[in-house]
Amino acid sequence: MKYQDIDLLRIVEIAEGAGQVILKYYREDVDVITKEDDSPVTAADFAASNFIVEELKKSYPDIPALSEESPEEIFEERKKWSRFFIIDPLDGTKEFIKKSDEFTVNIALIEEARPVLGVIHIPARNETYFGCEKGSYKKTIKETYELPLENFKEGSLRVMISKSHMNEATRGYVHNLKKDYQVEFSHVGSSIKICKVAEGIADLNPRLGVGTKEWDIAAGHAIMLGAGGDIHVMGTLEPVPYNKESLLNPEYEVKRKELLNTRLIQS
C-alpha cells in the first residue's frame, strides 16, 4: 500500500523489526532511568529508537525523523519541517517494565501539521495496526482486517480509559457521559487504547490532564483517520494539531466516525 511516495508496508516492516529489538530486552531484567519529566526510559527505548531512525534513513533519506529519544538539537530543527516522521519507539514503558504485553512501537508521518500515515505494532502480541487516508487495517499472524471491525450501537458508549492515568477529571467526564448514554468502560495501556477505538471495540478514548506528547498519539491519529474517526481537542470539533512549539498535547477525545459531529462534553 502506498501513501504518495511512502510504502506503508515498509513502515510496518520497520515497526515490527523494532518490536523484535524490544523483545530481546523484554525477556531479561533492564535498568530503568527516570527522565526529567519523571517518565521512565530503558535501554530498549534507545535501541528501538536507533533501529527505527536508521531504517527510515535508509528508505527515506530526505525525510527527517523526530523520536522521543532524539538528541536535543533535533527539537529546535524540527520547527522548520513541513514533513517528517515522528516516533515513539516504546510507548507504554511502564507496562514494558511490569512485563505486561501492553506496550507498542509507534511511527507516523506528519505533513503540514497533520498525521497522514501511521503504524502501531504490539510486539508481545505480534499484532500491527496501520493506516493512511486510503484506509486502516489490523494485521495478525493469520490475517489482515480492514477497520473498523465492529458497528456502533446508538445510545451506548464503550469508553477506553488509560490504565495509568485514571484521575478525578476523567471520572467526572465519564459521570457526565452517563447522563446521556449507557456507558461501559475498560482500561488498557499505551496507544492500544486508540487502536481499540479504530477497531470499533471501543467508541471513545478521552484523555484529560497533561502528560502525553505528539509521538504518543500521532500514529494512532492517522490510523483513526483511515478508519473514519478522528482525535478532537477536548470539548471541540477541532482535530489535535502537530509540530507545535510545545510537543505537549491538549486534552483530547479519540472518537469513532459516528461521534465526529457530537460534542460529548462541552468545554
d(CA 85, CA 171): 34
User: The domain 156-259: what is its CATH number?
Assistant: 3.40.190.80
- In tens digits, what is the pLDDT along the chain, a chain of 267 residues? 778 899 999 999 999 999 999 999 987 877 767 666 657 778 999 999 999 999 999 999 999 999 999 887 788 889 899 999 999 999 998 888 888 999 999 999 999 999 999 999 999 999 999 999 999 999 999 999 999 999 999 999 999 998 766 788 888 999 999 999 999 989 898 999 999 999 999 999 999 986 799 999 999 999 999 999 999 999 999 999 999 999 999 999 999 999 999 988 654
Residue type, position 116, single letter: V
User: The domain 2-146: what is its CATH number?
Assistant: 3.30.540.10
What residue has cell string 460529548?
Answer: 264
Same fold, 2-146 and 156-259: no
Q: How far is CA 98 from CA 30, 93, 95, 138, 213, in A?
A: 11, 9, 5, 25, 22
Let me know how many helices (H) and strands (E) the chain has, helices first. 7, 16
For residue 121, give the nearest of 17, 257, 7 by alpha carbon.
Answer: 17
Q: What is the pLDDT of residue 222?
A: 98
Read out DSSP for 185-213? EEEE-TTHHHHHHHHTS-SEEEE-SS--B
| Domain locations in the chain as residue ranges | 2-146, 156-259
Q: What is the pLDDT of residue 123?
A: 97
| Beta-carbon-side half-sphere exposure of residue 232 (alpha carbons within 13 Å) | 20
Q: What is the pLDDT of residue 219?
A: 98
